[in-house]
Structure 1
Amino acid sequence: MKKVKITAIIPTFNEELDIQRALDSVSFADEVIVIDSYSTDRTIEIVKNSSAKLIQRRFDNFSSQKNYAISKASYEWIFLLDADETVPIKLKEELINIVNSDTVYDAFFIYRSYFFKNKRLRFSGWQRDKVIRLFKKSTCRYKGKVHEEITTTGKIGFLKEKLNHYSYKNYFRYKNKLRKYAKLQAEELMVQGKIITPYHLFIKPFVRFFIQYVIQLGFLDGVNGFVISWLHAFGVWRRYVEVLNLKYSSVAKIKKNPIEKFNSSLSEKDISIIIVNYKSWKHLSLCLKAFETMREDEFSFELIVVDNKSNDGKLKEFTKKFPFVKFIENTGNNGFANACNLGALNAVGNNLLFLNPDTIANKEAIALMLKTAKSNSNYGIISCNQINDNGKVEKQDRVFLQLFTLFGFFRIFFRSLSKKTKENKEFIFTDWVSGSVVFISRGWFQKVDGWNEDYWMYYEDVDLSKKVSDAGGKVVLLKNTSILHNHGGASRINFKTATITKTEVLISKHVYIHNHFRGVLKFTMLLWLIIVTLFFKSITAILGMLFFFVPKLKLGMYLFIAMIRYYYHCLKKGTWLSSRSMNLPYKG
């Protein structure tokens, strides 16, 4: 009897760590085809040094890639092997025997043994994992973009021996693999018109974890079982987040660089002083009057006020009252960062000084900040002491947010243990400075892409300082000069405004963690923040309902409601951004 020949097919993309083992594993095949998606590592080099036939094709989806390779096969029987799989000797023998028998089946399921690194998982849902890998070319075809399956007009049988599947090599590689799968699955769901609800984003991932870890006995695989169950729950969540990204990215794309048209070479003035206003006209009047008599003998300057659509008729009045100021009306109450960037785009100064409208500056402080900037090119951000209306100096030593500085009590404890902030007679080298007084050169402003419009209000100053620090610059506070600051006068002007601003402080903290942390640490910080926020805000909400006549307790009740709405928004939209953020890719 004439021997029946087999074509083995191996799909690849950057599989240099596994491809040689896979090629050796299919040495029994009469023809080996490697269908590659233009790998950028050593995969191609390794394949070319073997007897395998190499075909390269741009990847669109798993099914079309495999179907294309099948069409190029010389023989009727096809055996498909992923690069991270191997064929044990007994399975090789069974494959050869089955294709040379008078089988009535056109395709065969093969069970797989799943390996976590080099240790086999015996539970966690892998007990009965099976895939169709041996099939006839004439009657079988792949269908589906990801986790594709064979469709056939014939009968399907089962082989006794198992494939070895070495899918999990390390946490981050496997997580990236799941991200890739999630994007492809999201494309399929978009075509199907899938509607994403909080159930898909919150309940379904938890259900997946519970099924795999508890019902499918993942806990019997120890730590490995927990990790794989957690990762697959993440994959479910990521799938639906990607659907939201696809759905709303066509509506409005996130601006990666809000100051893309910023001209870093302008220097018509020494300083452009930029003030953001929203209905703070009383404070703004005092702020601007401080500049009326300020002479330009030591430095030249311009004044720019960006009004965030106060829409109360005061803008025209102030334009006439202060003709030496350039007033710009924003398109809406777009937040502090957006207004600062708008002001910077219209500025002509070689340096930018961002001030709150509730500050009162003086010539000496501004001149010293300019002098310091000129003498120290590595000083990315410069500020100075701020004196409140009680004559007290505001906090000088500010630290970046970390796991143990999320909340007030822990910050106090952390400061007592950590090293003291570096300082000398002139400067304090702090992590970040308040956005109420920020002096930055035009070059540094462009280098860090300006203010981050992810933030509607609060933490944009921490973010800007962090970007400067990450870029190698120093954040400096001048000890020997000061500016008056009526703290809170620009934002907390009534109960409603106080509710919004306090809510945005909490929201922006979530955004900052998302932007500046990765992996397990980011997950831990966000989870901890959510739990503590809901716990303490729920207590104040209960007290607020009981003692609604006490303003602070009443405010706590409104804050709790606002945070519940925010978390619902996060689940529904798949983003940590505030609904007011200018970088939110979908409004309404």
Structure 2
Amino acid sequence: MNGRAPISGVVTTFNNAATLDACLASLAFCDERVVLDSGSTDATLDIARRHGARIAEHPFDDYGPQKQRAIDMASHDWILLLDADEHLTDAGRDAIERALRAPRADGYRLPRQEWLFWKWAHPHTRANWQLRLFRKSRGRMNDVPVHAAPVVDGVRRDLRAPFRHYGEPRLADRIDKVNRYSSGLVVHKHRRGVHGLGGRILFQPTIAFFKLYVGKRYFLDGWAGFIAARTQAFYTFLKYAKVLEAQRSDDQSA
């Protein structure tokens, strides 16, 4: 451990044989690797066993609860939470090793580099910073459907420990995911209520496009960046359009 705090690498899986090997290999420096599977039928569990991970199985009942179960399985207080299609870079590992020798925070946001259909994003494309390294004693998953994320009660800092997300390699796969995720948010948003829904449907997709294409510099990624920004705009449109659909359905049944 070289004097650093012990750490548990935590991953949830379902039929991730294509990407899990790279994910778990990047977590080899962790003091344990925990895999919670939700019924894989491919080689996912064989890969996890080959890496010496501690494995458990539980039926999937949403992203947040499943990840929280995996976190609760961990033996150590420091958690490094990755998805099965993500992997830590060598530079990321070194930065985490240094940070945990004398932690200055209870949670750290790390920069995620994206795979855009057929290429890794340009080095000057802005990364997506996400809280993935945190103390279990100070953090838990929130209850947001689909986009559940850790929240930390304590000091949070940014740590330049890059990790990579091997996203959908085909546009068709991305559209399928956009459709699933936007449907998964409907009940949550409908229950809470969405103010200015018409304006959001009209304007938020365009704002989402420019946030990625210009704000995060996806214009540096050629057609891959343009398509990624456009699909994000479509996702933004769908999640609000489906809430409107749910509202109109309620009105008809009232």
Decide: shared fold, TM above 0.5.
yes
Alignment-derived partner of residue 138 in structure 1: 137
C-alpha offsets along residues 389-433 of structure 1, whole Å, 9 cap, x if unaligned? Answer: xxxxxxxxxxxxxxxxxxxxxxxxxxxxxxxxxxxxxxxxxxxxx
The residue correspondences of 1:125-524 to structure 2 (distance < 5 A) are 127-143=126-142, 144-194=144-194, 197-247=197-247
- Residue 232 of structure 1: how far off its partner (Å): 0.3
3-state SS, counterpart of residue 150 of structure 2:
strand
Q: CA 1:209 to 1:193, structure 2 compared with 1: closer, same or farther past 3 Å?
A: same
3-state SS, counterpart of residue 151 of structure 1:
strand
Alignment-derived partner of residue 92 in structure 2: 91
- Residue 93 of structure 1: how far off its partner (Å): 1.9
How far, CA to CA, are the matches of 1:224 and 1:96 in structure 2?
Answer: 34
Count residues with an aligned counterpart: 252
3-state SS, counterpart of residue 60 of structure 1:
coil
3-state SS, counterpart of residue 159 of structure 2:
strand
- Residue 76 of structure 1: how far off its partner (Å): 0.8
Alignment-derived partner of residue 115 in structure 2: 115
How far, CA to CA, are the matches of 2:242 and 2:123 in structure 1?
Answer: 29
Q: Is the 8 A contact 1:118 1:166 kept in 2?
A: no
C-alpha offsets along residues 488-547 of structure 1, whole Å, 9 cap, x if unaligned? Answer: xxxxxxxxxxxxxxxxxxxxxxxxxxxxxxxxxxxxxxxxxxxxxxxxxxxxxxxxxxxx
- Residue 195 of structure 1: how far off its partner (Å): 5.9
C-alpha offsets along residues 326-353 of structure 1, whole Å, 9 cap, x if unaligned? Answer: xxxxxxxxxxxxxxxxxxxxxxxxxxxx
Q: CA 1:587 to 1:224, structure 2 compared with 1: closer, same or farther past 3 Å?
A: same
Q: Which moved more, 1:104-113 or 1:227-236?
A: 104-113
How far, CA to CA, are the matches of 1:249 and 1:58 in structure 2?
Answer: 31
Alignment-derived partner of residue 76 in structure 1: 77
- Residue 68 of structure 1: how far off its partner (Å): 1.4
* Structure 2: tracts of 5 or more residues without a match: none
How far, CA to CA, are the matches of 1:169 and 1:227 in structure 2?
Answer: 12
3-state SS, counterpart of residue 18 of structure 1:
helix
How far, CA to CA, are the matches of 2:130 and 2:52 in structure 1?
Answer: 26
3-state SS, counterpart of residue 74 of structure 1:
coil
3-state SS, counterpart of residue 189 of structure 1:
helix
Q: CA 1:245 to 1:15, structure 2 compared with 1: closer, same or farther past 3 Å?
A: farther
- Residue 96 of structure 1: how far off its partner (Å): 2.0
How far, CA to CA, are the matches of 2:46 and 2:243 in structure 1?
Answer: 37
C-alpha offsets along residues 466-492 of structure 1, whole Å, 9 cap, x if unaligned? Answer: xxxxxxxxxxxxxxxxxxxxxxxxxxx
- Residue 123 of structure 1: how far off its partner (Å): 8.2
How far, CA to CA, are the matches of 1:246 and 1:60 in structure 2?
Answer: 22
Q: CA 1:129 to 1:215, structure 2 compared with 1: closer, same or farther past 3 Å?
A: closer
C-alpha offsets along residues 533-576 of structure 1, whole Å, 9 cap, x if unaligned? Answer: xxxxxxxxxxxxxxxxxxxxxxxxxxxxxxxxxxxxxxxxxxxx
Q: CA 1:51 to 1:216, structure 2 compared with 1: closer, same or farther past 3 Å?
A: closer
How far, CA to CA, are the matches of 1:71 and 1:13 in structure 2?
Answer: 19
How far, CA to CA, are the matches of 2:230 and 2:64 in structure 1?
Answer: 27
How far, CA to CA, are the matches of 2:88 and 2:146 in structure 1?
Answer: 23
Q: Is the 8 A contact 1:36 1:57 kept in 2?
A: yes
Q: Is the 8 A contact 2:17 2:47 kept in 1?
A: yes
Q: CA 1:141 to 1:231, structure 2 compared with 1: closer, same or farther past 3 Å?
A: same
Higher RCO by CA contacts (8 Å cutoff, separation 6 or greater): 2
Q: Is the 8 A contact 2:37 2:56 kept in 1?
A: yes
How far, CA to CA, are the matches of 2:118 and 2:8 in structure 1?
Answer: 28
Q: Does 1:47 align with 2:48?
A: yes
Amino acid at match of 1:32: R
- Residue 134 of structure 1: how far off its partner (Å): 0.9
3-state SS, counterpart of residue 17 of structure 2:
coil
Q: Is the 8 A contact 1:106 1:152 kept in 2?
A: yes
Aligned-residue Cα RMSD (Å) equals: 2.6
- Residue 14 of structure 1: how far off its partner (Å): 2.2
Q: Is the 8 A contact 2:111 2:128 kept in 1?
A: yes
How far, CA to CA, are the matches of 2:165 and 2:43 in structure 1?
Answer: 22
Alignment-derived partner of residue 31 in structure 2: 30
C-alpha offsets along residues 156-180 of structure 1, whole Å, 9 cap, x if unaligned? Answer: 1222231122213111112222222
- Residue 32 of structure 1: how far off its partner (Å): 0.8
- Residue 105 of structure 1: how far off its partner (Å): 0.8
3-state SS, counterpart of residue 29 of structure 2:
coil
How far, CA to CA, are the matches of 1:197 and 1:33 in structure 2?
Answer: 41
Alignment-derived partner of residue 105 in structure 2: 105
Q: Which moved more, 1:143-152 or 1:229-238?
A: 143-152
3-state SS, counterpart of residue 18 of structure 2:
coil
* Structure 1: tracts of 5 or more residues without a match: 252-585
TM score, norm. by length of structure 2: 0.87
C-alpha offsets along residues 447-483 of structure 1, whole Å, 9 cap, x if unaligned? Answer: xxxxxxxxxxxxxxxxxxxxxxxxxxxxxxxxxxxxx
Alignment-derived partner of residue 10 in structure 1: 11
Q: CA 1:123 to 1:93, structure 2 compared with 1: closer, same or farther past 3 Å?
A: closer
Amino acid at match of 1:175: I
How far, CA to CA, are the matches of 2:210 and 2:90 in structure 1?
Answer: 36
3-state SS, counterpart of residue 241 of structure 1:
helix
Alignment-derived partner of residue 367 in structure 1: none
How far, CA to CA, are the matches of 2:89 and 2:212 in structure 1?
Answer: 27
C-alpha offsets along residues 10-38 of structure 1, whole Å, 9 cap, x if unaligned? Answer: 12222121111111111111111112222
C-alpha offsets along residues 63-111 of structure 1, whole Å, 9 cap, x if unaligned? Answer: 221111111111111101111211112221221222222x231111111
